[in-house]
Structure 1
Amino acid sequence: MSYILDSARLLKSDRIQKTSLLINQNRIEFMRQTMENIRYMRMDLSPYLLTPGHVMVDFSLHSSLQFHGFKHLITHRYIKKGCTTVVTVANVNNENDLLSSVKEKRQLMINSPIDYYIGIKLPFKSLTPSLIRKCKRYNISVIFVDIEEHDNLLSKSWGWIRDAMFSNPITLVPYVNEETYSLIKKQKTLQIWDKIMNEHRLSSIPMILKEGEPISRDVLMRLGIYPIKGDLHVGGQVNYNLYQYDEVHNLSDGRPIIDFDKTYPVITTHQGKLIQVNGMVSFIPGIGEECFISISGRFIPHSVTI
């Protein structure tokens, strides 16, 4: 089925672009400012702000959850906020736990109604070259490194870590327990982390990613997820949100600001199908697909060269 999303105010690179999109077989076939001469069924999007489906990070979906708890979390923490793809994180204590933890996470996500990537979170001391090499075998491209206050970031043999990433770039993301970290200590830790990552040319995120918040385009680029997810482009997937335009705040320079904790989309579409309308969620278990990152950190200058 072909149709046109007409007169859309598309949020792209923090700016609004007026465009129309021709959708065919759940793919974006064509985009241009106007499609007045093309005869297809039209959806007038002029009252709305159109955004790509959000990508969010998750630390709460555990294998111990029963289906009801899993459904509740996915529905209220993610879908209602316009999330169409989640980066869900498996907890790994050490290298020996890697395979079992990833298997448990994949088993849990079989029922996911939205697409997902699988990453892992492990203690700083457990980050080793051999673990990184195993991550490639299990299609893991994102590692959250849990840093505690007593960890000495300079004590790690980062050169060996980099060597283990040759032809297998993995993005390292710092993770700290913000309840136990002071603001000053957290800022200092992140500064040291970023300096080490740059010196050793490792693919990394220089900030803490918060659960249940849309991941920015810049971070998605570093992870290697963008533009497959988090973007609306010709040939791309039909994953989008519609916000009431009059509920979006605009800065003096025209950039829109969405308070994602208070402002929810009125419509969320995943793979061309409505999954949320005015807070009513259509939860279809198993239609979400596991996605894989082909080249992590491909858009940043200090990423590992392969």
Structure 2
Amino acid sequence: MTSYILEHVRMVGGSEPVSILVEKGIISAIRRSFPQYRFMRVDVSPFVMGPTPVFCDLEYPEHLLHQGSMDYYIGKGCTTILTAFQLEYEYRFEENWRGIKETMQSSPLDFIIGMKTTPQKITPGIIRLCRSRRVPVIWVDITGVEALLSVPWGWIKEALNHYPITFVPFFSTEPDTKTREKHLRIWQNTMKSVKIPHIGLPIGQKVPLNGEVLKKIGIHPHRGILSPGREISYNLYLEKDEEDDLLVRDTQLVLKCTMSKGECLFLDGRPIACQRKGEEISIRTPGFFVEPTPYRL
């Protein structure tokens, strides 16, 4: 791959412009300038640059064949999807995991595979299977708290010693507000008491994951960040000023270009057809960068 320098880069949330040295598709260094290098230089001063966001969509594989769904994520500057397969029977773990992986590989987006299941299916054996396939996150249906409380969490904790999977709650059937808060409170207290890596609230769907969630699951620093040693995937935005009132100015960022490991996925308002196939991101150590912290309602 060609080596080059991106100059006059204004980062989202940054203060001073920087230059980015790219070698073989990897960010080698980020500095104020690289005057000693003779590489090709690209001036991106008209734009604001940001990392490509990671979206969560537990239903994404079912919608994969619909071009509208694909265009939605690419149009948001997304290059990576966090999704999950449903586990109903332990003996079908391998079949379900392999099926979603093969489906996701037909997409141009990279992916992280989690698992969603009921409390009754959470056993040390399932944890070992998740570890063998590097499944970094398990969604637990907390619609019924009785089943949640019956899980032998002490044994699960021991099974997590070699691969600290992060547990996330979800509701297969959305309850009323009072019941929802009660169940989430029980979830948080249970996870905290046994010191199991967890996220206290359901993860938003079809929206970018925040930095805390990325760290807890172990996706950071693989995605969602521009830093030396990482691949050069980024979004370029133009600033759009709207003045509805002389005293109020709202600056918006309008996506103009999405680059994913050297290939353009989105340019000037439309997705670009490309030949790249999605790659699975293997999480070696979930939650390596942060300690689990309790959530409070």
> TM over 0.5: same fold?
yes
Point out 4+ residue stretches in structure 1 off by more than 6 angstroms: none
Q: Which residue of 2 aligns with 1:273?
A: 263
Query: 1:148-227 maps to which residues of 2 (within 5 A)?
Result: 148-149=143-144, 151=146, 153-177=148-172, 180-227=174-221
- Residue 84 of structure 2 contacts residue 116 of structure 2 at CA under 8 Å; is this kept in 1? yes
1:287, CA displacement in angstroms?
2.4
Selected match of 1:90 from 85, 88, 96: 85
Contact 2:240 2:251 survives alignment (8 Å): no
Contact kept? 1:26, 1:237, Cα under 8 Å:
yes
* TM-score relative to the length of structure 1: 0.83
Structure-1 separation of matches of 2:251 and 2:223: 21
Amino acid at match of 1:266: K
- CA distance in 2: counterparts of 1:182 and 1:257, whole angstroms: 37
* Structure 1: gaps (5+ residues): 249-255
Q: Does 1:296 align with 2:291?
A: no
For residues 279 and 134 of structure 1, do their structure 2 counterparts lie closer, same or farther at Cα, with a shift above 3 Å needed?
same
1:229-276 deviation digits (Å, cap 9, x = unpaired): 11111121011111223369xxxxxxx997xxxx65211110022110
* TM-score of the superposed pair, with normalisation by structure 2: 0.86
Structure 2 CA distance for partners of 1:290 and 1:264, relative to 1, 3 Å: farther
DSSP 3-state at the match of 2:291: coil
Contact 2:86–2:116 (8 Å) recurs in 1: yes
Q: Deviations over 1:263-293 (max 9, x none)?
A: 6521111002211012221233552211110
- Return the offset for 1:43: 2.8
Larger mean CA deviation between 193-202 and 160-169 belongs to: 193-202
Quick check: 2:239–2:254 contact (8 Å CA) kept in 1? no
Corresponding letter in the other structure for 2:9: A
Match of 2:222 in 1: 228
Counterpart-to-counterpart distance in 1, 2:144 and 2:185 = 14
Residue 275 of structure 1 contacts residue 281 of structure 1 at CA under 8 Å; is this kept in 2?
yes
- CA distance in 2 between counterparts of 1:181 and 1:16 reads 44
Give the CA deviation at 1:2.
2.2
TM-aligned CA distance change 1:18 to 1:195, over 3 Å:
farther
* CA-to-aligned-CA distance 1:144-170 (integer Å, 9 cap, x gap): 112214545333221111011121221
The aligned counterpart of 1:252 is none
Q: Whose Rg is larger?
A: 2
| 1:56 aligned residue | 55
How many residues matched?
286
The answer as to 2:247 corresponding to 1:246 is no
**Percent identity over the alignment?**
30
- Could you tell me which runs of 5 or more consecutive residues in structure 2 were left unpaired when the two chains were aligned: 243-249
* AA of the residue aligned to 1:3: Y
1:29-68 CA distances to partner (integer Å, 9 max, x unpaired)? 12112345644433333332211111111222336x6x74
SS in 2 for 1:79: helix
Answer whether contact 2:116 2:138 (CA < 8 A) is retained: yes
